[in-house]
């Protein structure tokens, strides 16, 4: 008899696409994906090996970080230097004296790892 693989392991902050499958035979593979706000590292799929074990390593889901917020001319950023900007974090800008803020002063780190648009602007100055 061909050894079957056990149910593929769950990974933190992610899941695999084989819900409802009852038998895992050698040659089958399952694909993992991460919850919103997490990014997958490693291979996205694991395969059931002839030995009845899953190929390793399993993928991991790590927190998705946004790059540092954009530098906006004549504006000061509210964030502390060295902050990790995780999904859902917002930062706000204030304008230097003599400049007025146009647009929403806050931007948000999205679940895709980028900053929401549009960015605010500081207008004025002589």
What DSSP string describes 10-47? Answer: P-TTEEES-TT---B-TT-EEEEEE-TTEEEES-SEEE
Domains and CATH numbers, the chain: 14-63 (2.10.70.10), 65-124 (2.10.70.10)
Encoding tokens for residue 120?
Answer: 């605010």
Encode pLDDT of 4-63 as tens digits. 999 998 999 999 999 889 999 999 999 999 998 899 999 999 999 999 999 999 999 999
- Using alpha carbons, select from 71, 27, 22 the residue that is nearest to residue 48: 27
Encode pLDDT of 44-55 as tens digits. 999 999 999 999
Encoding tokens for residue 9?
Answer: 């392991």
Cα–Cα distance measured from residue 58 to residue 125, given in angstroms and rounded to the nearest whole number: 55
Instruction: Confirm whether pTM is higher than 0.85.
Output: no
């Amino acid at each position: 008899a061909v050894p079957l693989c056990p149910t593929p392991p769950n990974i933190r902050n992610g899941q695999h696409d084989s819900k409802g499958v009852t038998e895992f035979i050698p040659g089958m593979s399952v694909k993992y994906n991460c919850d919103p706000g997490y990014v997958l590292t490693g291979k996205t799929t694991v395969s059931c090996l002839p030995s009845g074990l899953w190929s390793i390593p399993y993928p991991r889901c790590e927190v998705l970080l946004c790059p540092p917020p954009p530098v906006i001319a004549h504006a000061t950023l509210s964030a502390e230097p060295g902050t990790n900007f995780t999904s859902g974090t917002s930062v706000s800008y204030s304008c230097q004296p003599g400049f007025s803020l146009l647009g929403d002063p806050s931007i948000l780190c999205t679940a895709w790892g980028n900053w929401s648009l549009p960015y605010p602007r500081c207008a004025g100055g002589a």
